[in-house]
Each structure stands twice: as structure tokens, then as C-alpha cells.
Amino acid sequence: MNRTLVERYLAGVASPVCAYLYDLDHLRTRTAGLVELLPRNCELFYAIKANSDAEVLRSLDGIVAGYEVASLGEVTRAREVGPHARVVFGGPGKTDSELEGGLARGVELFHVESQLQLLRLNAVAAQMGRSARVLLRVNPNALTVDPDSKRPTGTLTMGGQPTQFGIEENELPRVIAIANTLAAVEVVGLHIHALSNNLDAQSHLALMAHYMTLARRLQRECGLRLETLNVGGGIGVNYVDPDSGFDWSAFCARLGALLTDFDKGCRIVFECGRFIAADCGYYVTEVVDLKSNHGKNFAILRGGTHHFRLPSSWQHNHPFSIVPNETWPYAFGRPSLERAAVTLCGELCTPKDVLAREVEVGRLRVGDRIVFRLAGAYGWHISHHDFLSHPHPERRFFDVVRNADARAGTLT
């Protein structure tokens, strides 16, 4: 945790605290380090669904290869960083207006998720007098084929089983043959994103090997043009034990060895969101009440899942730190807990508004601040902000390089 940043913010804010803090300097430095470790012929795109704030996109501009988007609105967000930005467009439900808007805004590649989407894209592109470059998204038959390989696991699985995502592997030869008859689309590779939040580098490497084997087979058997193999994101963040995360360095080193036998004319594209943005953000709240019900302790926070839905959505105890606050403005006694288990709850009128359940604390008092780390991705951006019409949290972006400390939407 960037204690200097957090303490600097808390020193100048009134109670009750409720804010998102984003460390843009750390975001840039860490992302540059991720890119540097990638093997040659690999590119790292940022999946902006994780955090689409313009401040975040501008900080990553020129560091990542480009942006992965999943709606026309996200295309527009990516274009806010400048007309030069490379954009790839995914998503299972792209409408004709989104396909048209993506073409008009210079989308580099469309991830096509079905035969119908391919035909519709061809029709839209032909009507516009354009040509669309396409990656066919694959839903593979399995996530590994080597019985000695550990099957990768993640919080969400989009492939290797029945889902709404991608084209079933067995259908690909037929779809490739259809694509070869279309005048306004050009298939140049595959997109395979089968799972999310894998924490194990070795099993993720086995997944990459499986993707490459599948791509080579389709190239050999179906004449697939293979300029790009987009392997998606899926690299996880360990919210249970943040100091024991995905080993990116070892993964990249082993990936380099794996790629020595792969098609040298094919680039490998990663499109990570969570792995890039998670640890640049903090959600800071304040304890406004402590109570005991039926033998269990509860801390009520200013804020909750309407600001930070991730812990409830993924059903984990989100990692946090307690920052003591010595100010107590009342004449009556200050409620506190000593060496006890407590559930951290929000202010909503639902028992599901929980950010961490039955966690041990040494000391916790009303007025103390709670800092949830790893809140830079899928925090504010997936939350139901206006439920019960509570005030939104303050959102601040800290940028020493640009000498900026700005509220949401004001950093230039």
C-alpha cells in the first residue's frame, strides 16, 4: 500500500471519509515493467472494462500497445486518448450500429463471436465501402489436451464448456470457409479467452501451449491466415493473499522458450485489465458504527457494495488495512473492538452489502479508516452507484510525474 499517498489524502479530508484514490505513477511504472518482460513478438493491450477512466487511459497511452474494448462507448473512451490509439473490439452482442461505429472510428481488429456476427460485419463493412480485419473467437473443446498438464482454473470460465462466448471449436472449419467467400472481411487470426483470474503461471503457460497447438492445426487444415493469436487476459490478482500473486516474470521467461517453436510471423497479443490496473487503486472508507448481533460483530462503513461491488460479486473477503483516527468529537464514549472477529458492512439496506466477513482485527473503533487495496480494477466501474441515492465517493487521481492531484474527470 502506498501509505504516503493514503496518509496525504486523509490528512486533509473531513469525516466521514469515502473515496477512491488512484496512484497513476505506480500504474505507469508497473505496466512498463510488465511490457518489458514480454518475449519478442508479444504485445500487451489494456482491457478498459476493468477501469475506463480517461486519467487511467492517458497514463497507459504509449506504454501498452493499445486498448481492448467491448462496446461502442468504450471505443469512444479509448479514442479520447488520441486518434493514434490502437483499438480492438470484442464482445458477444455487437449491434450493427456498433460495428459501423467501430469501423468509422478506425478499430484495428474485430473479435467475431459467431457466424451471424461475421455475416453482419461483412454486410456493414460492404455498405460503408470498407474492409474489416477479423479475429475469430474460439470456444475450445477443452482447456488442456495434455493429461500431464494442470488444468487452469479461474474465477470465471468462458471457454472449454457451454457459454455464450465464441465459436465452438468444431464449427471453426465451416466458419473459416464461409469467411473466405466474403468480400468485406479478412480473417487474420484467432481470439481465445477461456477463463478469468488464473493465479497459476504454470497452468496458464500450458493454456498458451494449447492455444498455439489449436491455431497451428487450423492454419494447417483450414488454410487459416495466422497473423495474430490473441490469447486474451485471464491473468489473475490474488485478493486472498496479495503478496502471493501470478508470477509474471517466470511466465514470460517460459513463454519465450515456448514461442521458439511457434510461427515467427504471428504476433501474440495479451489483453489484460485486472492484472494491469488492480493495484493502482484504493477504496477508503470510515467506520460509522460498531454493533453486536446474535454474538457476531459488525462494522458499518460509509460506503459499501454500491461503490465497490467486487468483493460481493466474487464472494471473497477483500484485503484491507486499518488506519487509526484519533479524532473523537463527542462527549460520550467511543465504541471499539479489541482482538475480535468483525464483518465489514456497507450502508445499504441489504444483508448482502458485505466487503469482508468475520475477519480478525487487533483494534477497531468508530471513526477509524478502512483502506481496501487492489481496488483499481472492477471496483467503481461495475458497481450500482445510485442504489438508495447515497452520495458517490470522491475519486482522486495522484500523478507526481505530471504534478497533478485531481478529482475524477479533471486531470489534464
Catalytic residue numbers read: 349
- Angle at which helix 96-104 crosses helix 72-79, to 10 degrees, equals 20
Residue 367, sorted as left (phi over 0), alpha (psi -120 to 50) or beta, turns out to be: left
Residue 196 three-state SS: strand
The whole-angstrom separation of Cα 274 and Cα 49 is 9
Count of Cβ atoms closer than 10 Å to residue 7 Cβ: 11
Q: Give which of 139, 188, 144 is closest to 159, Cα–Cα.
A: 139
How far apart CA 342 and CA 356 sit, in angstroms, is: 8
Rounded Cα gap, residues 91 and 84, in angstroms: 22
Burial of 333 (0-12, 13-18, 19+ CB in 10 A): exposed
Cα distance between residue 25 and residue 27, in whole Å: 5
Instruction: Enumerate helices (H) and strands (E) in the chain, giving the number of each.
Output: 11, 20
Cα–Cα distance, 363 to 339 (Å, whole number): 6
Dihedral-angle region of residue 219 (phi above 0 means left; psi in -120 to 50 means alpha; beta otherwise): alpha
| Alpha-carbon span 388 to 396, nearest angstrom | 23
Radius of gyration (C-alpha) of the chain in whole angstroms = 23
- The SS3 call for residue 112 is strand
Strands (E), 131-244: 132-139, 156-157, 167-168, 185-191, 195-196, 228-230
CB-CB contact of 77 with 52 (8 Å): yes
Do the Cβ atoms of 273 and 48 come closer than 8 Å? yes
